[in-house]
Amino acid sequence: MVSRIKQVSVFIENQPGRLTAMLEALEKNEVDIRALSISDTADFGIVRMILSDAAKGAETLRQAGFTTRQDWILSAEIPDRPGGLLKTVAEPLAKAGINVKYLYFYIEAAAGKSMVVVKTDDIEKAEHVLKSP
């Protein structure tokens, strides 16, 4: 299964307590985090999240003083076995000439499925490639 989902990215300063403040704002407004990835530079970090309600989460964080951005990305179900990511995502996208900018995993707890979030340089083409058998 492949679908488009909204990702919320938050730019936070690399300072003690900033991640805590971000998480507290989401908790206070009852926005659940489904998946999270953090990368950093010397001065700031980028927190990428799949939230229970992307619009509410982004607005909550803006009101708390954070800079946010929402993007459409792909979510793809992958087999939970060696080579699952290779055969269902990496190889098909590479063969189609689509660059993967980043990816991270999450698990749909209720369904017990392994999922991967993929940001590519061509979302329409990537979605078509990953939906093809």
Query: Bigger pLDDT: 80 or 13?
Result: 13
**Residue 80 and residue 57 share a domain:** no
Name the residue range of residue 53's domain: 2-70
Q: What is the mean pLDDT of the chain?
A: 91
Work out the pLDDT band at 27, boundaries 50, 70, 90: very high
Residues 112 and 98: their CA atoms lie apart, in Å, by 28
**How many domains, the chain?**
2
Banded model confidence at residue 15, pLDDT cuts 50, 70, 90: confident
Tens digit of each residue's pLDDT (9 = 90 or more) over 29-86:
999 999 999 998 878 899 999 999 999 999 999 999 999 999 999 999 888 888 989 9
CA angle 9/39/96 to nearest 5° reads 75
First CA to last CA distance, the chain: 11
The closest of 83, 93, 91 to 114, measured between CA atoms, is 83
d(CA 40, CA 46): 6
| Predicted model pTM | 0.86
Q: Are strands 2-13 and 33-40 parallel, antiparallel or unpaired?
A: unpaired
Beta strand 33-40 with 44-51 is antiparallel
**In a shared domain, residues 80 and 118:** yes
Residues 23 and 63 in one domain: yes
Phi/psi at 14 (nearest 5 deg)? Answer: -80, 80
